[in-house]
Structure 1
Amino acid sequence: MKYMLIWRATDEGKAAMMGVDFEKMLETMGRYNDELIRAGVLVAAEGLDAAEEGVVVDFSSEPPIVTDGPYGETKELFGGFYILNVASKQEAIEWARRAPSFGPGFKTEIRRITTIDEFPQDNEWIQRERAWREATGQL
């Protein structure tokens, strides 16, 4: 099963990160990433650019409205993610608990990633996606 670990930070957490030596942060995260790699569970891991560099596409009107970041009243911003291929939700939780923490204000949301096999296989669009995944080596 694949799980996404979504890193979130409050303003307090982001402020705490400003005081962390960049080389120390790279070392700490690098060791964690290496553990995931050696365990054979890491599928992907990416950080995200600052919210000020992003945009929001709001579908509450027609046409959708595009607004530059940051995102207004957001209390916690999504700052990066890991995708792990593990045996269970509990294993994903254990990996999240082992992740480096740089102080208060950080949270990790854990969500299972659904697979194409969970959708109706007789659906034309699912069949097209399955063919694409097979052709690109994703299945």
Structure 2
Amino acid sequence: MPRFLSMIRIDENELSGAEFPQDFTDRMGKLLEEITKAGVMLDTAGLTATSDGTRVTWSGGKLSYTDGPFTETKEVIGGYALMQCKDKAEALEWTRRFLEIHPEEWDITCELRQIAED
């Protein structure tokens, strides 16, 4: 079965200090339990703020390092999920359900990509 990487893109400045609805944790926990029991979820996690990160760039035969925060970037990867689904349609359905748990006033984008396998 194909594997898919779901990358959650957020504007961390917009969501910094944002309040989660009271029932958010319960609803998210139930969805994660369901997706795990279905044998789909392989791994998932949120990521720390870009202020804790470092970008490593290879250019012109040299490495350079840039410590965060990365102020020139509006959207950053805030979390990920690695899923094994029967097809892209199933991966998109789980992604839809994940996004719909979040507050309507939030702007969150999920980039879903299939992992290339030989």
Same fold at TM > 0.5 = yes
State the 1:12 CA deviation. Answer: 6.7
Identical counterparts, % of pairs: 29
Alignment of 1:34-113 (within 5 A): 34-99=33-98, 100-102=101-103, 103-113=105-115
Counterparts of 1:97 and 1:32 in 2: how far apart (Å)? 11
Amino acid at match of 2:112: I
The structure where helix makes up a greater share of residues is: 1
Structure-2 change in CA distance of 1:11 and 1:50 (3 Å): closer
The structure where strand makes up a greater share of residues is: 2
Structure 2: which 5+ residue stretches go unaligned? none
Larger radius of gyration: 1
State the TM-score, normalized to the length of structure 2.
0.84
Q: Let me know the Cα RMSD of the aligned residues.
A: 2.0
Counterparts of 2:53 and 2:9 in 1: how far apart (Å)? 16
The answer on whether the counterparts of 2:5 and 2:113 sit within 8 Å (CA) in structure 1 is yes
Cα distance per residue 1:82-103 (max 9 Å; x no partner): 1111011111001100012233
Structure 1: which 5+ residue stretches go unaligned? 119-139
Counterparts of 1:107 and 1:78 in 2: how far apart (Å)? 9
Partner secondary structure for residue 59 of structure 1: strand
Structure-2 change in CA distance of 1:24 and 1:12 (3 Å): farther
Partner of 1:127: none
Counterparts of 1:3 and 1:61 in 2: how far apart (Å)? 32
Alignment of 1:12-51 (within 5 A): 14-15=15-16, 18-20=18-20, 24-51=23-50
Aligned residues: 114
Partner secondary structure for residue 37 of structure 2: helix
State the TM-score, normalized to the length of structure 1.
0.73
- After the TM superposition, list the runs of 4 or more consecutive aligned residues in structure 1 that deviate by more than 6 angstroms: none
The one of the two structures with greater contact order (alpha-carbon pairs below 8 A, sep at least 6) is 2
